[in-house]
Amino acid sequence: MSRVELTGIAKSFDDLQALDDVSVDVEDGSFFVLLGPSGAGKTTTLRVIAGLEAPDVGDVRFDGHSAGGATPAERDVAMVFQSYALYPKQTVAQNIASPLRARNVGPDEMQKRVEEVATLLRIDHLLQRHPGQLSGGEQQRVALGRALVREPRAFLMDEPLTNLDVKLRVEMRAELTRLHRHVGRTFIYVSNDQAEAMAMADRIAVLHEGRIQQVGTPEEVYDHPVNRFVATFVGSSRMNLLDCEVQDEVLIGTDGWRLPAPPAALGHPGRLQLGVRPEDLSVAGEGSGGHALRGVVYAVEPLGDRVLLDVEIGDTVIRVKAAPTVVHEVGQALDVCVDLTRAHLFDHDTGLA
Ligand code: ADP
Ligand code: MG
């Protein structure tokens, strides 16, 4: 069992600051996701927790005790990577047992633990095979098995599903959530895929350029992003951003549109951006009231249950997830309704909400 706390972690490689004042508090037994684009500092954060990398400044604590100076083995955390790194000449059973062999666990106890883990991961029928005879998904389960068999205090997982095809990734998300519930230990999971993070996390920390942008539940980071980066990175489709300004309680778009200014915008000087997700926009006449922007259809992409429209509003193209009941054509003029209760405003220059 383990609560994992990072306080004020900084780490530089030569003149590149990979981590800058990173602080997170991971509750014991939670599924915590570090989410961010490539190069954000996610792997470095995991390596600092595991003791594979020493921070320049800051502290890592396990259950309130500083890990400063503790070796990776003493920290007793297990890491799972996107490359499975299995031993090709050993069977699945031997691969899973390998961490136990290093610890002088007796053969009966070893066999029992390997079988338990294999059953939990649904690979008990594969124990005598070699890694070369397994699919990617099966290999990833063996790698997970090798981490689980040790019963470490926490699991650190670095984009473990990246090498799987889309369908399997989605299946494995549910499997990992089930596994987490079953073992009840702290999971710190690194991902660059916001859908994965939203599906699995108790809490998400969004990391960008070595800095924590926001920590919260999936709902909090989706509904109340603290800045433009979080708003555009989280969500199944990219948030639309429209340049505007406030004048006399009216939001005036650079492209000429006008909307009543939300309370948060009142008195805000200078340039703003209105952020609205495609799912919070609709086409006038679809039954949703609200305030409209006049535009022209630029592209139509049917998705089955919804249709994605790219709509030109002046010089800006925005994306709308519309109902598929009405046929839309390129070049057609329409009104796009904005749900202002679900809109976000950002300072144009700082990006802050
Ligand atoms: P992520 O896992 O989010 O993609 P990383 O933590 O791997 O990001 O890397 C963060 C930044 O630190 C990147 O710019 C990367 O190039 C740099 N970096 C990571 N490890 C090293 C290293 N050992 N030496 C030099 N630069 C590194
Ligand atoms: Mg990485």
**Ligand 1 and 140: CB distance under 6 A:** no
Q: Which atom of ligand 1 is the closest one to the Cα of 40?
A: 3
Q: Residue 83's pLDDT band (boundaries 50, 70, 90)?
A: confident
35 alpha carbon – ligand 1 mean position (Å): 15
- Of all protein residues, the one whose alpha carbon is nearest to atom 17 of ligand 1 is 18
- How many alpha carbons lie under 13 Å from residue 121 in its C-beta half-sphere? 27
Please name which ligand lies nearest the alpha carbon of 13.
1
Give pLDDT, residue 102: 82
From the CA of 116, how far away is ligand 2's center (Å)? 31
Of residues 236 and 239, which shows the higher confidence score?
Answer: 239
Give one word for 148, left, alpha or beta, with left for phi > 0 and alpha for psi -120 to 50. alpha
Percent of the chain's residues with pLDDT above 70: 98
40 C-alpha to center of ligand 1: Å? 8
Q: Is the pLDDT of residue 226 over 90?
A: yes
**Ligand 1 contacts CB of residue 19 (under 6 A):** no
Please check whether residue 210 is in contact with residue 34, taking contact to mean a CB–CB distance below 8 angstroms: no
Degrees, nearest 5: CA angle 39-41-46? 130
Given a cut of 60, is residue 289 above it in pLDDT? no
Average pLDDT across the chain, whole number: 93
Does 205 sit in the ligand 1 pocket, CB within 6 Å? no
- Token readout for 334 is 């329409």
Question: Residue 341: is its pLDDT beyond 70?
Answer: yes
36 lines ligand 1 (CB under 6 A): yes
Q: What does the alpha-carbon distance between residue 219 and residue 202 come to, in Å, rounded to a whole number? A: 10
Ligand 2 center from residue 43 Cα (angstroms) = 4
CA distances to 284, 285, 306, 315 from 320, rounded to whole Å, are 12, 14, 10, 16
pLDDT bracket for residue 279 (50, 70, 90): very high
Mean pLDDT lowest among 119-133, 189-203, 247-261, 289-303: 289-303
- Higher-confidence residue of 327 and 301: namely 301
Ligand 1 contact, 55 CB (< 6 A): no
Q: Is the CB of 41 under 6 A from ligand 1?
A: yes
Tokens 């040790």: give the residue.
150
Q: Where in the chain is the domain with CATH 3.40.50.300?
A: 4-233
Beta carbon of 191 within 6 Å of any ligand 1 atom: no
How close is the Cα of 11 to the center of ligand 2, in Å?
Answer: 15
pLDDT at 110: 94
pLDDT of residue 166: 87
Q: Is 73 in the pocket of ligand 1 (CB under 6 A)?
A: no
Between CA 278 and CA 97 the distance in angstroms is: 49
Class of domain 240-347: mainly beta
Q: Which two tokens stand for residue 7?
A: 């306080």
Q: Is the pLDDT of residue 141 over 70?
A: yes
Nearest atom in ligand 1 to 159's CA: 2
Domain with CATH 2.40.50.140 in the chain: 240-347
Q: Which CATH number fits domain 4-233: 3.80.30.20, 1.10.287.370, 3.40.50.300, 2.30.30.100?
A: 3.40.50.300
Q: What SS3 state is found at 258?
A: strand
The separation between CA 209 and the C-alpha centre of its own chain, rounded to angstroms, equals 15
pLDDT of residue 167: 87
Burial group, residue 272, by CB count within 10 angstroms (0-12, 13-18, 19+): buried
Average pLDDT (56-69) is: 95
User: Whole-prediction pTM value?
Assistant: 0.91
**pLDDT at position 291 over 90:** no
Question: Considering only CA atoms, which residue is closest to atom 12 of ligand 1?
Answer: 18
Report, as an integer, the average pLDDT of 99-115. Answer: 91
Residue whose Cα lies nearest atom 19 of ligand 1: it is 44
Partnered with residue 79 across adjacent β-strands are 156
* pLDDT over 90 at 81, yes or no: no
Question: How much distance in Å is there from the Cα of 33 to the middle of ligand 1?
Answer: 18
pLDDT > 80? residue 72: yes
More confident residue, 276 or 1: 276
- Given the structure tokens 């990173």, which residue do they identify? 22
Per-residue CA distances from 231 to 159, 161, 277, 353 (Å): 22, 24, 9, 9
Measured CA distances, 157 to 31, 220, 229, 239, 321 (Å): 11, 23, 24, 28, 34
Predicted confidence (pLDDT) per residue in 18-36, tens digit = 999 999 999 999 999 999 9
Residue 290, pLDDT above cutoff 70? no
Token code pair at residue 39: 């190069």
